[in-house]
Amino acid sequence: MCGIVGYVGGQQAAPLLLEGLGRLEHRGYDSAGVAVLGPGKESRLRVAKKAGRVRDLVDQVPKRFAGKVGIGHTRWATHGPANDANAHPHVDTKGDVAVVHNGIIDNAAALRAGLAEAGVELLSDTDTEVLAHLIGLSEADTLEGKVAEALGRVEGTYGLAVLHAAYPDRIVVARNGSPLIIGIGDHEMFVASDLAALVRYTTRVAHLDDGELATLTADGFSTYRLDLTSVTRSAIDLEIDADAYDAGEHDSFMHKEMLEQPESAERMLRGRLDERFGTSHLGGLHMDARELRAIRRVKVLGCGSAYYVGQMGAGLIEELARIPADAEAASEFRYRNPIVEPDTLYVAVSQSGETIDTLLAVQEIRRKGGKVVGLVNVVGSAIARECDGGIYLHAGPEVAVASTKALTNMFLGFALLALQLGRVRDLSIADGRRLVSGLQRLPEQIGEVLAQEPALAELAGRLAGAESLFFVGRVRGYPVAREGAQKFKEISYRHAEAYQTSELKHGPLALIDDSVPTVAVVPEDELTERNVAALHEVAARRGPLVVVTHPAVELGDLPSQASVDRIDVPRNERELDPILMTVALQLLSYHAALALGHDIDKPRNLAKSVTVE
């Protein structure tokens, strides 16, 4: 969703801001803009903004756009269409204040009406513009005071950066529910909504908590609460390789990130497996064996792919630990007034750690006294900080909108958690060791699946022609089918629908004909026979089949005219097989989208992290 960048220091701000905005493109946006404060005492605000891509903005920024303090934004339309007027930064009537904002001001309509009544001419349809006017009209004698006063009148969520011509040495930023990271350089400071925009310049960062403001000047930063009492936020050094934010020789980040999976899976497991006792080490949970044993139920919460992998995870927990476990879309959770029980372990799963629906679900649980642990990739993100404990995913930066390597590591995180919950209960040491050894084999086997890319590309090219597809699986295979369909529709824009294989004959079979392929997840397990029987029903109706399966699975005598392709993935332990099948489906989606000529990393209408409700 919307992205923010800001710079104050000794360099010209505009080139840095435009470069930073380019690195935020994966967040999803439809317009972009920058503002800088010109040099000298009579500092003047200069603004350039435009609907379209960052490169359109670059063409529009005048050569003389000097200023060593500036802010920039990529906008994802919420209030009003994507056009030049609605693009950020927004300025006040006098042209002194510039504001960029992520989030939603819930009482914007009332504030707009109040401003209009007071004679203020509003130039955009946005909620953000009210902030520029409120700050401009404030009589507080510091910029921090003006911003705090304006925010005091606002209800909603924000990540915010503000420039004011009368305070040319600073940017004031504020956060409430939308991500914002301060980057600390050498006599220069940065701010961004995503690390991707910072890492080229610094990996020393500080985070704000909700309801906090900060002033950034070339020499440092200070942090406050909304009542302007000071609060200490210390800087941390992140261990991040800036090259992780370059696609390198790959045509897309998605391709790069899929291929990184053996290595990132290895990183996830490193130091966490205990061969001797057939269990896992998860210090970040902050729970001892007694507390783990006291858990009666597990509820997993996530959105989109994180929800589907959460469903895989809940299955693993129920199977290995024999604790009732289920997954729910975090976006629905808090609206049904959920019962939060003290002996339930809530697991929030999120790559970005900033997904607003998941964050709000976590806050709701904590408000009701529940215990939440996070499976999160981005260190120090809002969800990670909000949870009581957690398991970091160590996938490294994931830039592509379509989640691949983080998702795989989420599965591994669930496997580690399930193993530990199982081993403090009735999972035998032999089974524990069996799974530890299965986990150790997984990174290499993921590599074997990835090595099938040429064959999968050929198959995907043929599948890409279908307007509509089914993805089916049963029990462990069903969330694999859901995630497979999700990935397929996200980047190929084909209608891909997931069903339990067992449900086919209760309705969807009516849609099967030779134009609707079925991608079926058929592992070698206790349900193979039933799954194969369903394939025969599809083939009898001339439905083309793509079967993701294991080498030993026999598909029987399918009708001679049936179109059947198989993708054989290596076998691991039955509990861990789902992730290998998921990786095969990632490649299938990627190559279908490629064959269709789509921009893989910027799927239409989607953003990497969804930070507004």
Smallest distance from the beta carbon of 386 to ligand AGP, in angstroms? 13
Query: Smallest Cα–Cα separation from 47: which of 29, 59, 62?
Result: 62
CA distance 462 to 476: 27
Smallest distance from the beta carbon of 577 to ligand AGP, in angstroms? 21
Taking the least distance from each CB to ligand AGP, the nearer of 208 and 407 is 407
State residue 74 phi and psi, 5-degree precision: -110, 130
Q: Is 358 in the site for ligand AGP (CB under 6 A)?
A: yes
Triad 553, 559, 562: Cα angle to 5°: 85
Pairing of strands 297-302, 344-350: parallel
- For ligand AGP, the binding residues in 466-505 under the rule CB under 6 A are 490
Which of the ranges 99-107, 317-325, 401-409, 428-436 carries the binding residues for ligand AGP, by CB under 6 A?
401-409
Taking the least distance from each CB to ligand AGP, the nearer of 252 and 305 is 305
354 CB-contact burial (10 Å; exposed 0-12 / middle 13-18 / buried 19+)? buried
504: left (phi over 0), alpha (psi -120 to 50) or beta: alpha
322: left (phi over 0), alpha (psi -120 to 50) or beta: left
Candidate residues 306, 382, 472, 527; the one interacting with ligand AGP per rule CB under 6 A: 306
Query: Smallest Cα–Cα separation from 601: which of 453, 465, 400, 434?
Result: 400
Binding mask 402-421 for ligand AGP (x = CB under 6 A): xx------------------
Which of the ranges 55-63, 109-117, 152-160, 346-354 carries the binding residues for ligand AGP, by CB under 6 A?
346-354
Smallest distance from the beta carbon of 411 to ligand AGP, in angstroms? 13
Taking the least distance from each CB to ligand AGP, the nearer of 124 and 352 is 352
Smallest distance from the beta carbon of 362 to ligand AGP, in angstroms? 11
Q: Is 586 in the site for ligand AGP (CB under 6 A)?
A: no
CA distance 76 to 69: 24
487 CB-contact burial (10 Å; exposed 0-12 / middle 13-18 / buried 19+)? buried
Q: Is 393 in the site for ligand AGP (CB under 6 A)?
A: no
513 CB-contact burial (10 Å; exposed 0-12 / middle 13-18 / buried 19+)? exposed
Q: Is 610 in the site for ligand AGP (CB under 6 A)?
A: yes
Taking the least distance from each CB to ligand AGP, the nearer of 348 and 415 is 348
CB of 9 closer than 8 Å to CB of 188: yes
Taking the least distance from each CB to ligand AGP, the nearer of 361 and 522 is 361
Taking the least distance from each CB to ligand AGP, the nearer of 104 and 111 is 104
Residue 234: alpha-carbon gap to chain centroid: 25
Query: Smallest Cα–Cα separation from 69: which of 12, 3, 144?
Result: 12
Candidate residues 350, 492, 518, 572; the one interacting with ligand AGP per rule CB under 6 A: 350
Written as six digits, the tokens of 471 are 């993805």
Q: Is 215 in the site for ligand AGP (CB under 6 A)?
A: no
Q: Is 304 in the site for ligand AGP (CB under 6 A)?
A: yes
Taking the least distance from each CB to ligand AGP, the nearer of 138 and 351 is 351
Query: Smallest Cα–Cα separation from 566: which of 526, 539, 541, 597?
Result: 539
CB of 550 closer than 8 Å to CB of 569: yes
Q: Is 347 in the site for ligand AGP (CB under 6 A)?
A: no
46-to-6, 91, 173, 468 alpha-carbon distances in Å: 14, 10, 19, 49
Taking the least distance from each CB to ligand AGP, the nearer of 350 and 409 is 350
Task: Tell me 601's DSSP state.
Answer: T
SS3 248: coil
SS3 22: helix
Smallest distance from the beta carbon of 26 to ligand AGP, in angstroms? 10
Candidate residues 331, 355, 492, 501; the one interacting with ligand AGP per rule CB under 6 A: 355
CA distance 493 to 497: 12
Candidate residues 280, 305, 311, 586; the one interacting with ligand AGP per rule CB under 6 A: 305
CA distance 342 to 370: 6
Total binding residues for ligand AGP by CB under 6 A?
A: 15
Which of the ranges 152-160, 301-309, 312-320, 423-431 carries the binding residues for ligand AGP, by CB under 6 A?
301-309
Among residues 50, 405, 602, 608, which one is catalytic? 608
Smallest distance from the beta carbon of 526 to ligand AGP, in angstroms? 30
Taking the least distance from each CB to ligand AGP, the nearer of 87 and 303 is 303
368 carries an active-site annotation: no
387 carries an active-site annotation: no
Beta bridge partners of 183: 190, 205
Candidate residues 401, 446, 481, 562; the one interacting with ligand AGP per rule CB under 6 A: 401
Among residues 2, 256, 299, 405, which one is catalytic? 2
Written as six digits, the tokens of 91 are 């300025």
Q: Which residues are catalytic?
A: 2, 608
Residues that bind ligand AGP (CB under 6 A): 303-306, 350-352, 355, 358, 401-403, 490, 609-610
